[in-house]
Amino acid sequence: MTNWMIAYQGEPGAYSEIAALRLGEPKPCETFDEVFAAVENHEADYAVIPIENSLGGSIHHNYDLLLEHPVVIVAETFVKVEHCLLGLHGSSADSAEKVLSHPQALAQCRNFFSTHKNLRAEVAYDTAGSAKIISAGGDPAKLAIASKRAGELYGLEILEENLADEEWNITRFFCITHADNPVSPHMIKLPETAQQKTSIVFTLPNEQGSLFKALATLALRDIDLTKIESRPFRKIAFEYLFYIDFIGHRNEPNVENALRHLGEFATMVKVLGSYGVIA
């Protein structure tokens, strides 16, 4: 089977790389903008982007980028975030002074810091990147919070596991490809799950009851809404984009009818993709 190039944001060992490894050959990028550019410029066949975390909520910048670039969602996957305390061999949480990690990871480990007053949190650009910094720095007084895989890749010792405040810390990723790519079984092994999901984005006229009417297009056809998110529309002040996920494929008759109905009064409707889950 062809080994497709999968762009992701972060260093090797990042949670995004764990998602990318499920699909093909990971291609690291520094920023999310570079990830989308890699797909748009055909430098990568696909990309995985985190879209929401069970503790931290939605990654808003990626919602904006989905609208700005010619991409389509072809799958989703979920990665359990398991933060580990990593250090050089011989390091200790009791004798160290600083802990580096991505700001969201640091925020998810507040209880750990409250019981280790000697440790000061320091923001790094990436969880795996913090492990890379510690490995290269050679300072036992500095530790990192990152994945177990990052510790293995950068030769660090796992000092503690399960650092997050909550046990269920899961990140949802979208797998995206260029909108012009023919999605077929001969490309990536896409999920053949019975239950498909569709993501759309739309704008509405600033009229009384417009959002109610939009949601009614789904409710009247017994379409199960799984998420709704509003974002400021950057092109018009105080206008909003509505991102919606619901159960069903865009080609199903009831979904087609709902989208056609929505398009009769929405000022813009875009289908971001219909997709299943990759385990």
- Which CATH number belongs to the domain containing residue 57 in this structure? 3.40.190.10
Considering the domain architecture, whether residues 4 and 76 belong to the same structural domain is answered as yes
Residues 104 and 218 reside in one and the same domain? no
Rounded to an integer, what distance in angstroms lies between the CA atom of residue 45 and that of residue 39? 6
Q: Are residues 141 and 179 in the same domain?
A: no
pLDDT surpassing 50 at residue 185: no
Annotated catalytic residue 171? yes
Tell me the CATH number at 230: 3.30.70.260
48 and 180 within one domain = yes
Residue 4: per-residue pLDDT: 92
The more confident residue out of 119 and 206 is 119
Confidence of residue 191 (pLDDT cuts 50, 70, 90): low
Shared domain for 263 and 237, answered yes or no, is yes
Is 36 a residue of the active site? Answer: no
Mean pLDDT of 185-192: 54
Question: According to the model, what pLDDT value does residue 188 have?
Answer: 57
Q: Are residues 278 and 249 in the same domain?
A: yes
Range(s) of the domain holding residue 67:
1-80+169-188
Interval 222-270: pLDDT, tens: 999 999 999 888 776 768 899 999 999 999 999 999 999 999 999 999 9
- For residues 159-182, average pLDDT: 92
Closest CA to 65 of 272, 274, 275, 276: 272
Residue with tokens 């989703």: 76
Q: Is the pLDDT of residue 1 over 50?
A: no
| Residues 34, 152 within the same domain | no
* Torsion angle, alpha carbons of 51, 54, 55, 56, to 10: 10
Q: Which residue among the candidates 32, 36, 112, 173 is catalytic per the annotation? A: 173
Is 204 in the same domain as 69? no
In this prediction, residue 279 carries a pLDDT of: 79
Residues 97, 120 contacting (CB under 8 angstroms):
yes
**Mean pLDDT, residues 61-65 taken together:** 94
Same domain? 180 vs 143: no
The verdict on 178 and 73 lying in the same domain is yes
Q: pLDDT tens-digit profile of 66-95?
A: 999 999 999 999 999 999 999 999 999 999
Of the residues 77, 127, 171, 203, only one is catalytic, namely 171
Q: What does the pLDDT average to over 9-37?
A: 96
What is the DSSP code string of 221-251? Answer: TT--EEEEEEEE-TTSTT-EEEEEEEES-TT
Q: Does residue 41 sit in the same domain as residue 109?
A: no
> Quick one: residue 108, left, alpha or beta (phi over 0 = left, psi -120 to 50 = alpha)?
alpha
For the chain, the domain total comes to 3
- Name the pTM for this structure: 0.91
- Answer yes or no: do 98 and 67 share one domain: no
